[in-house]
Structures are given as C-alpha cells and as structure tokens.
Structure 1
Amino acid sequence: MTSTTSLFSPVEADLRLLSENLKQLVGKRHPILSAAAEHLFGAGGKRLRPAIVLLISRATMPDGEITPRHRRLAEITEMIHTASLVHDDVVDESEVRRGVPTVHNLFGNRIAVLAGDFLFAQSSWYLANLDNLEVVKLLSQVIMDLAAGEIQQGLNSFDTNLSIEAYLQKSYYKTASLIANSAKAAACLSGLSAEMAENLYRYGRHIGLAFQVVDDILDFTGSTEVLGKPAGSDLKSGNLTAPAIFALEEKPYLEVLIEREFCKDEDLQQAIALINEGMGIERARELAAREARSAVEYLADLPPSEYRQALSDMAEYVLSRLY
C-alpha cells in the first residue's frame, strides 16, 4: 500500500516549508482567530491538495524549479480547504476532525464561523497578490463552488430520489473543484498551453471525485479511529452518498429508514447493515476506480519525471485507502 510519506517524498521539503508558512500567514492581529487557525494547521492532515499543486508545479517547470508564486498557490489551496472544513463542521455539528476537537467544539460556533471567514478572506487577499487574473478567477470559482455544494447537500438531505449524477455534481463542488482548479492554476503559473492546463484540470477533477467516493465508502467501512469521526456520520445527518444511493436500488426498506430520518433507536445501524449487505459498497468501489483511472490518462502529455510518477501513483494511493 502506498503511503503519503513515500508518495509525497519528491515535495517533502516543500510541504515542510508550507506547514511553517501557513501559521505565519494567518498573522497575529486576531489572537483568538489565530489560535483557532494554529489548532487547525497543527492537526496535521494529509496535505493532499497542496501536495498536488506542488507536484504539478515541479512537473511543469524546467528542471523542476518552482517560483514563490507556485508555493503561495499551494498555501492558498490549503487555506481555502481548511476554511471550508471549519464551516462544514459547524453545519454538520461535528465534534472531532482528524481525531482532534473541532474549532467550534473548542471555541464555540461564533468563533468557528469567523475563523472560517477569516481564512477565506486571508486566502483571497494572498490570491489577489499573485497578480494573475486567470488564477484569481479559478480559485474564486472554487469558493463559490464550495458554498454551492454545501447548499445543495442541505437541500438534498434525506432525499431518497437523489441520483448518482447529482451526487457527483455535489462532490465536485465540495471536493474536486478545489483540486481541479488549483491544478489548472499551477499550470497557468508555469505558462503551459490552454490544452495542457485543461488536461491538468481534468486530472484534478477525476482524482478529486475518486478521493470523495473513497471517503464516502470509508464512512461505512472505516473505524472511528481511522476516520477521525464516528462511522456513519454522513448517513446519520441525511447526506446520501454513493454506497447508499446504489443500495437504495436493491434494498427497498432502506428508503423507509432514511425517509423517517432514523427516528427509532436501531434505524441507523439497520441502514448501515443493509448498505453493507448489498452491492452498494462494491459499486461505489468500481466508481472510484473508474475516476482514478480517468485521472491518470490526463497526465500523458507531461514529460517523464519523479513528479509525474507521484501524480500517477496518487490514483493507486486514493484507492488503496479502501484496503
């Protein structure tokens, strides 16, 4: 099984520098917000998104040498991601994230919402200072997509008629848009052609969707220790994901349990059991594998390098999280 340590080794030094810079970028003007941000950045995480930006940056620059603007883009990407997690945790009333207490659990909802806003604002300011209009447009679209995805998820809560296409669209908004658009932004900073930049956008879109589908499978098959949150959290909150959507086609009673919003004591556990019994998990695995394979196809025009290889291996890593 590929680990993030080996996968990200070509940009290991870049990621260490990124972690140091993230805390400094937040600044000291707002002590409580800074404390909240330090708590978040100190919680670790896979740093998948900035790693992809850094790998693409090095894969597309002569001799793999990147500019300060590439580094700043990676930092902005992680700030936007972190801001979205803070807001998501408030909406979902999550008590833990990555195995540590969430910001709103430690500081209260008001500070958590402000901390998320603060990180979005900070990322927007640093984004504007890149002085690249195309990159500003790409990352601004991400912030809109994140909000659209959260709204769509709320509107579709406990909706047993949700299609797999609508699920993938929501997953794009909430997860893949940031990976896809930041990948394309890195290509823009490297001065690549429009076609190459679009290919890297497609790579990011497909790898992001594969990552989200795998996450959604793990919500049913993973342990609380591995997930950093209670198993079945998405289903409990009414967020129907690929395994549940597929399972609904073969387990009619699952619809009854979902539509009454698991109001009886055993409803949630019964629903999870039904999803695990049927083909929902397996079909979701196949969907994730298709997305991961599609992602790799869009790397074909990149020159061979350890960075391109790591981007290709990312597909194997995403799927290996299931086993």
Structure 2
Amino acid sequence: MILYNKLLSSIQYDLEILNKNLKKMVGPKHPILYAAAEHLFNAKSKRIRPAIVLLAAQVSMQETSVLSEHRRLAEITEIIHTASLVHDDVVDDCQTRRGVETVHSTFNTKVAILAGDFLFAQASWYLANLNNLEVVKAISKVITDFAEGEVRQGLNYFNSFISIDDYIEKSFYKTASLIAASCKGAAMISNANKEIQENFYLYGKHLGLAFQITDDILDITGSKDSLGKPAGSDLKNGNFTAPLIFALQEKKELYEYINREFKNKEDVNEAIEIIKNSQAIQKAKDLAREHIQASLQALKKQHECEAKKILESISISILYRLS
C-alpha cells in the first residue's frame, strides 16, 4: 500500500477528486443503496485502476492536459470494479474485504445484489454520456466478460482437472479485461492511433493478469491481517488458482483434500503447507513475471514522460507485494 501511494503521489490530487466524485455519482436516490455504495467507497482502497487510466491518458495525450472524459472514464472504471466485487463477495460468501465487512454481511444478500446492479447501471449511464461509441463498446464488453468469468469459475468449483490455460482465461475475464479495456479507452479518448490503442490494451491485459496471479499467491502465503480475509479462501471455495494447479503436478496427496472439498477442520491449512513445500509458488511467481515483462514490452514504443515511468514502475512493483 505504501509503495503504491508513493508511485501515485503525482496524481494524488486527481485521485482525491475522484473519491469525491464517486460518492456524488452514486447519488442518494435510495437510502439503503446509497448507504451500501458509501460503505464500499469508504473502504480502504488503493484506487489503482482509475490511477492507471489517468496515467495512460497522460501518456497517450503526450503531455497535453488530460480531458474531463478521461477523468470520467477513470471513475467509471472504479465503479464497475467495485460492483463486480460486491457480486463476487456474495457468490463466494466472503465476510470481509480489505479488512472491512462486505456489503452482504453488513446489510444482507438482497441489498448487496441490488447495490451491485445499481452500480453497474450507474456506470453504464455515465459511460453512455461520454458520447464516444468506440469507448462504450470496449467498456460494455467488460461487463459481459465479468459474467463469463463468474460462470466459468462456478462451473469449475473443485475441478482438479482445470489447466493453467483455463485459469488464465478465467482470470482475464474476471480481472484483466477491465484494466485492458480501460487503458485502451483512455487512448481512444486521446484520439491515439490504433497501434497505440492496442499497445495500451496489451499493457492493461498483462498487468491485470500479473495482479491476479499475485493475489492468488498471496491467498496461499499471506496472513489474515495482511489479506483482510482468511488465507486459503480460494481453496475453501473450490476456486483453484495457479499455486494449487502447479502443486497438483507435484503433490498428488492434494487430490485427497480436493475430493472431500476441504471439509475437515485443518484441511485448508494442511493443503497450504503442502503447496508451500512444493515448487508451485515459484512457478506462479515466474508466470506473474512473464506477464509483467509483457506489460513492459507493450509500453516500449510509448511517448517518454513521467507518467510512462510510473506505469512501468507499477508493473515492476507487483512482485514486491510478494517479498
């Protein structure tokens, strides 16, 4: 968190405005939905996604001031991300996120689903008002991708035959798609050429995948205090990620835990120890590193400026989360 704050210090003022606007955008139209939305936006958050959008805008504008449409896209990106988290928490029955009670545990499941739908609807409204059809198409696809990713994940709970390719594809739908489309959208608003738009898409895609892989490693190696939720949550929910998939190639005893769906009291903790005592964590780190390198490669031809250096530093900093 401290590392990201340092990297984003140059756009701190923009992020403060964004935080204020997020609360205005949800609007107090219904007390319960507004309370749920306010609860979400008051939660501890790095706002890394809108920050990346603003930085991509600065690079693609080649030092010309970013536009109000860029700022609105950054806000839309954070609202869509937040809406997806609300629905994810309901599906996975998470009680806390970032150390704060989730919406469905604070209110109830019905309110949480409605709050998520409400946020998606608000994001769609503000997206339409950008008056940029290509950006609308790009970002609208993300909401479809979220649903696709959630369905794929749901159909593969406790599926020990899931491959790394399946995992990467699902991770793209659930995480990387939004960052990729938002970065491309920023370049579109800047009227950048198609090659620049595509490079920003690739930057966001690979950055998003690296983020997800890193999060999944931390779900195994982190503590409840650092994660804001119990370690091994993915294992318990039957959501199999890179560390487990790699560990299954080496530690066949893990199949016993999977077959009984980690029902015994110490199953999750024991499985975590088995994964840690394999080559799986290192293999997952190597996979994250590959995507970090791909994100940096996508930035190579972009305009040299401070914002580009920060985007590069964000990519490189991902692995520091694991140290």
Per-residue displacement from partner, 1:24-68 (whole Å, max 9, x unpaired)?
A: 000111111011111100112111110100000111114341111
Match of 1:4 in 2: 4
- 1:2 and 1:316 in contact (8 A); partners too: no
Per-residue displacement from partner, 1:298-320 (whole Å, max 9, x unpaired)?
A: 11121111100000001121111
Per-residue displacement from partner, 1:157-182 (whole Å, max 9, x unpaired)?
A: 00000000000000000000000000
Match of 2:116 in 1: 116
- 1:54 and 1:71 in contact (8 A); partners too: yes
Q: CA separation in 2, counterparts of 1:307 and 1:125?
A: 29
User: TM-score, normalised on structure 1?
Assistant: 0.98
For 1:222-261, list aligned pairs within 5 A: 222-261=222-261
User: TM-score, normalised on structure 2?
Assistant: 0.98
The secondary structure found in structure 1 opposite 2:123 is helix
Match of 1:153 in 2: 153
Q: CA separation in 2, counterparts of 1:190 and 1:267?
A: 51
Match of 1:204 in 2: 204
Match of 1:194 in 2: 194
Q: CA separation in 1, counterparts of 2:39 and 2:264?
A: 37
The secondary structure found in structure 1 opposite 2:125 is helix
1:107 is aligned to 2:107: yes
Q: CA separation in 1, counterparts of 2:317 and 2:182?
A: 20
Q: Give the superposition deviation at 1:2.
A: 7.3
For 1:1-40, list aligned pairs within 5 A: 3-40=3-40
Match of 2:264 in 1: 264
Q: CA separation in 2, counterparts of 1:300 and 1:31?
A: 48
The secondary structure found in structure 2 opposite 1:229 is coil
- Which runs of no fewer than 5 residues in structure 2 stay unpaired? none
Match of 1:277 in 2: 277
The secondary structure found in structure 2 opposite 1:302 is coil
Between 201-210 and 299-308, the greater mean CA deviation after superposition: 299-308
Q: CA separation in 1, counterparts of 2:2 and 2:195?
A: 30
Q: CA separation in 2, counterparts of 1:64 and 1:56?
A: 12
The secondary structure found in structure 2 opposite 1:278 is coil
Q: CA RMSD in A?
A: 1.1
- 2:63 and 2:305 in contact (8 A); partners too: no
Q: Counterpart of 1:168 in structure 2: which amino acid?
A: I
Q: CA separation in 1, counterparts of 2:166 and 2:64?
A: 39
- Which runs of no fewer than 5 residues in structure 1 stay unpaired? none
Q: CA separation in 2, counterparts of 1:64 and 1:37?
A: 34
How many pairs does the alignment contain? 323
Identity across matched positions, percent: 55
